[in-house]
Amino acid sequence: MSHPDPIDLTNLAQEKLGRKKTQRVLDHCRECPRCADQLLEAAREQPLTTERPVLGMWNWISIGLLVVSVLAVVAILWWVARSASRPPSPGIEQSQVGASRLPSPLDDRQRT
């Protein structure tokens, strides 16, 4: 089996190599200690990244939807709690009672 290019080893250490080529290089490095040592050396030479991760467009869309959802749930819970804590207005209660009361036959007997 041929040895991978040193450029491929460096790109693999920088995580800039494609999936298939990465697999081929790793398979070779499992069998070839010299190439494995070169890969480890290339990985050690890479600087540690201390910068914060960059959020992509879909990350921002997801965060926005999460914020909107949380605000909607808070607003609905606030509205339900506010409605439940208020006593019903007397005008509505009286109209409901009057509409649901039907004259009974006993009422006619008492009138006469």
The mean pLDDT value for 27-49 works out to 86
93 or 6, higher pLDDT: 6
Does pTM surpass 0.75?
Answer: no
The mean pLDDT value for 61-74 works out to 98
CA atoms within 13 A on the CB side of 81: 6
9 token code pair: 């080893």
